Structure 1
Amino acid sequence: MNLPQILKEQLLSTIGPATKEVTHINYDSRKITNKGCFVCIKGDNTDGHLYIEKAVLQGAVQIIGDQQDVLIENAKRYSDVQFILVREPKKALALYSSYLQSHAHKEMSLIGVTGTYGKTTITAYIRNLLNGSGIKTGSIGTAGVWDHRSSLSLHRSTPTTPESSDLHAYLRRMRKRDISSVVMETTSIGLDQERLYGLHFDIAVHSNLKPEHLDYHGTFDQYKKAKLRLFDHANVAVVNTDDEGMSKDILSTFKGEIWTYGIHHTATVQAKNLKATENGSSFDLLIKDQLYDVFIPALGTHNIYNFLASLCVCLAKGLTIKEILPLFHKLEGPPGRLELIPEFPKRKMIFDFSHTPYALDNLLETIKPIPYKRLIIMITGIGIREKSLRAPIAKAVEGRADEIVVTADHPGDEDPLVIVNDVIAGFETTTENVHPVTNRGEAIKKAMGLTKEGDLILITGLCMEEFQIIKGKKVPYHDYDHVKEFLDSSDSQKYFQETSK
């Protein structure tokens, strides 16, 4: 095992016997078994160096860290384990993970998507169009891990951009399925924490940039710098010319091939004369002076931007407009993005991931072409995100819905009632039509119970997740379970008869 070659510039020194075989690597000591390598990473709440003993007792044969004194002390206690001192453990984790997964990423075309809004939908559109064109494509992001056919039931270390040890395992699994391209969401935090270290992207996609995650990055400028790092490791850039947040930074510094898209500003790929219907959007598509009449089954100007970004990727990969034009009418987005739930009789019920003031405002504009009698919306405060967003969430929907249910998502260590009250504090006028419900599942049933025939109900928040984070634990949770509970309840038929009057 050639550690200098594997770890490259990260390796400083080793203590203890050389290891002949390592079968797996992880930053979580609980997941280390026989012949494992444990990487000590210091986080916000704890330090991996504190768990060296646990990892060794569970079978670790290698320990990687950056605290020399701690490694030397443990090497005296465990003489049969190799201790490796590195400059930056997260970079070492990425390099070693790539090695253990046979550098699968080097045999694939990688596409990275970054920005504040639209990453998940752009990723889904790219995967959909490339697979429809015969290019086997997988995806990694908020919507989960997908091969070219369906979602894979895999452990996810983070909500969006996986830790590098998981990411490389996903890539190798896809390569074994003959997937040649992988599109992934690349978050600012994922980039900052070196989860993508060592990867090179054929194409990097920019959606837009708005203030977000400032509790982590500190300033908007630092947030932007983290996003821009993706374009330092890409051959082609796809840039939204209408975005004032980051487009000029990319266009002025990127040295490779550039594709641009937009609606208001001149771009390589441009949409004009937008028209919205209940079933989707039609517009004139202009590509290098060639005009095409296009319809996509997606609502909202934001989804036209998402589509244009995905189209640029297809063209940058060498596909022609004639090859992909027939695929537009059956374009598929990710689950939980304007997802229609058809089981709710004589009503329209939509799940949407909107959980910020900007996204909620955009959602309420997007649904305008949909006919309905009354609008019922469920909004959420999120315990594991910035508290400063809670009151503005209320302001974004105030006066725009007939009934508003307020609940808590991923309360974390907070009291859900406090989160709900923080949101309600944002309403400036009467709250007679505001219904606080601290439990998300019960809130969904409350919102459903407020409807009448012909109404539209919007269930917003982190509605694609399969868990809720409560007191540091991921508690299994599915929105649809509560929809089904309401529909299967003993008095549901009575309810439908009464509310239809």
Structure 2
Amino acid sequence: MLLKDLLRGLKVKEIQGNDKLFIKDIAYNSQKSSDDSLFICIEGLKTDGHLYIKDAIRRGAIAVIVQKDVKVEGATIVQVEDTRKALALIANRYHHQPSTKLNLIGVTGTNGKTSTTYMIKKILEINEKKIGLIGTISNWLGNEKEEDDRTTPEALDLQRLLHRMVKKKIKSCVMEVSSHSLELQRVEECNFTIGVFTNLTPDHLDFHETIENYRNAKKKLFYKTSFYNIINIDDNDGKIILDEIKHLDTPILTYGVNSEADISAKNIVMTIKSVSFDLMTPSYEEKIKINIPGMFTVYNALAAITTAYCMRIDREQIKLGLQSIKGIAGRIEPIEEFKEFAVIVDYAHTPDALENILKSVKGFVNNKLITVFGCGGDRDRSKRPVMGEISSKFSDVTIITSDNPRSEKPTEIIDMIVEGIRGNKEKYHIVVDRREAIRKALKSAVKGDIILIVGKGHETYQIINENVIEFDDKKVAIEVAREEGIL
């Protein structure tokens, strides 16, 4: 595609060189620049693409898009006001506007995004078979699974992925839409059919600074939809968002348990292995059962059901889709090898998520609830003492350990968690090494106990300084149990 065609509709401040070049590829990472490619300089949180222009040209880039004044020879230089916006627009155009050819469903919120997207995927698969999914755990193109390290990929990677789905004749894609992706314009050129809001609790405040900024970032999704917006009306921020978007042309459906909602759950019954409820919709009532325990499962299911309902999917297909779910990796996932006591792994890494799962599990435990958790480094520090207080309140024993400390000292993170713990100091222990913390929990457990290992869930690594080491809570628990003769 010609460079001048890619630039169409973009606010260009200056062009130095030929804009009639034929562009064969696009990159925002200089190491991925190739012959006759366009390199777009993005200012990231840790580095700046403008520093790598010469490297991109050396690798074959013939045109560069910048937002700063630069003097470089050997390529056409295009200066724009915002290179992130340029990346989104150009990536979308280069890949032939793939989101306009898909039924694209976006799910945003602090907690529940992953579970909700998987539930929607399962329901849609009953009817469409091949479904696309973009999210925290992995991306799916029908039956093809791909790993990614971002909840929502960068604009170029996202448009490329959507284009591949279109080529594979996938008709619907459900994706997690993070607040970062909305604020950093990764989804700027996406045309969403449906937008879903799950909930909002303090998180990522290291990036957004205030809860208002965080909510406003999430709210951007609902200005990008064409068919329906779906809001959890039980959530206070959901009510605020609802009030602020009700003037839009896009219709709104609400869901909830405690508020008057379009779609709701009544007569909720929970066991250690499942949850069931009476589904109430404007058109019908239905009994629903899902093999994942917890009140949060009810809310995630309602979000998925409301999505399917507005798509006019038959109630039997909704039931079949939800019944087919055996579990979601790292989401209240039991380790089946343990029989005398239960060991559960979960991704909960925010105060609200931790409280929700502790409350759910507390209702099933026959003896002690032992919680193993830590907090990530280089992330929102304010939640650390709050999570310490929550764990000490609902757990019989808390073992505080490392999560992904990154560049921070694990002991300093732990000290901040301990600040929130009040009362009996015998209720918590500090074991910095996560493997040894899991060992302590397993060795102290007796029949009827539940050990809850939270914070990492599906992750198979641990980040310590610049090192990424292999660490899977499930595998480590089994290995340690065998070393100790427990299994």
Task: Note the alpha carbon deviations across 1:459-485, whole angstroms, 9 max, x for none.
Answer: 100222233333345444433342343
CA–CA distance in structure 1, aligned partners of residues 231 and 394 of structure 2: 33
| Residue in structure 2 matching 1:462, options 456, 460, 470 | 456
More displaced, 103-112 or 320-329?
Answer: 320-329
Structure 2: stretches of 5+ with no match in the other structure: none
- Letter paired with 1:257: P
8 Å CA contact retained: 2:397, 2:427 = yes
Q: How does 1:386-397 map to 2 (within 5 A)?
A: 386-397=380-391
CA–CA distance in structure 2, aligned partners of residues 278 and 46 of structure 1: 46
2:314 aligned with 1:320 = yes
Structure 1: stretches of 5+ with no match in the other structure: 497-501
**Which residue in 1 is equivalent to 2:51?**
50
**Which residue in 2 is equivalent to 1:212?**
203
How many pairs were matched up?
483
Task: Note the alpha carbon deviations across 1:310-331, whole angstroms, 9 max, x for none.
Answer: 1111122221223323333223
**Which residue in 2 is equivalent to 1:226?**
217
2:230 aligned with 1:238 = yes
Task: Note the alpha carbon deviations across 1:266-297, whole angstroms, 9 max, x for none.
Answer: 22211111111222112111111522222222
- Letter paired with 2:112: G
Task: Note the alpha carbon deviations across 1:141-174, whole angstroms, 9 max, x for none.
Answer: 1122123335324x43x2x111111112222232
2:166 aligned with 1:172 = no
- Superposition CA RMSD, Å: 2.2
Alpha-carbon offset, residue 29 of structure 1: 2.2
CA–CA distance in structure 1, aligned partners of residues 20 and 472 of structure 2: 44
**Which residue in 1 is equivalent to 2:40?**
39
More displaced, 175-184 or 469-478?
Answer: 469-478
| CA 350–187 in structure 1, closer or farther in 2 if over 3 Å, else same | same
**Which residue in 1 is equivalent to 2:352?**
358
SS of equivalent residue, structure 2 residue 237: coil
Task: Note the alpha carbon deviations across 1:393-414, whole angstroms, 9 max, x for none.
Answer: 1110114333321112221211
CA–CA distance in structure 1, aligned partners of residues 154 and 81 of structure 2: 18
8 Å CA contact retained: 2:6, 2:94 = no
More displaced, 365-374 or 299-308?
Answer: 365-374
Task: Note the alpha carbon deviations across 1:16-69, whole angstroms, 9 max, x for none.
Answer: 2446443432322233333332211223433221111122222222211111x3
CA–CA distance in structure 2, aligned partners of residues 448 and 110 of structure 1: 44
| CA 294–457 in structure 1, closer or farther in 2 if over 3 Å, else same | same
CA–CA distance in structure 2, aligned partners of residues 333 and 247 of structure 1: 30
- Letter paired with 1:355: H
| CA 411–31 in structure 1, closer or farther in 2 if over 3 Å, else same | farther
**Which residue in 2 is equivalent to 1:283?**
277
SS of equivalent residue, structure 1 residue 458: strand
**Which residue in 2 is equivalent to 1:305?**
299
- Letter paired with 1:223: Y
- Letter paired with 1:33: S
2:262 aligned with 1:271 = no
- Letter paired with 2:422: E
**Which residue in 2 is equivalent to 1:22?**
23
Task: Note the alpha carbon deviations across 1:166-221, whole angstroms, 9 max, x for none.
Answer: 11222223233322111111111210100001111000011122233222222222
| CA 406–31 in structure 1, closer or farther in 2 if over 3 Å, else same | farther
- Letter paired with 1:470: I
**Which residue in 2 is equivalent to 1:184?**
175
TM-score, length basis structure 2:
0.92
CA–CA distance in structure 2, aligned partners of residues 217 and 326 of structure 1: 39
**Which residue in 2 is equivalent to 1:89?**
83
Alpha-carbon offset, residue 112 of structure 1: 0.6
| CA 328–48 in structure 1, closer or farther in 2 if over 3 Å, else same | closer
| Residue in structure 1 matching 2:443, options 446, 449, 456 | 449
8 Å CA contact retained: 1:115, 1:227 = yes
2:432 aligned with 1:438 = yes
More displaced, 273-282 or 110-119?
Answer: 273-282
**Which residue in 1 is equivalent to 2:3?**
3
TM-score, length basis structure 1:
0.90
8 Å CA contact retained: 2:3, 2:19 = no
8 Å CA contact retained: 1:237, 1:254 = no
| CA 58–372 in structure 1, closer or farther in 2 if over 3 Å, else same | farther
Task: Note the alpha carbon deviations across 1:319-367, whole angstroms, 9 max, x for none.
Answer: 1223323333223553111111112342211111112222111111111
- Letter paired with 1:58: R
CA–CA distance in structure 1, aligned partners of residues 88 and 409 of structure 2: 36
- Letter paired with 2:204: H
| CA 196–339 in structure 1, closer or farther in 2 if over 3 Å, else same | same
- Letter paired with 1:140: I
CA–CA distance in structure 2, aligned partners of residues 22 and 94 of structure 1: 16
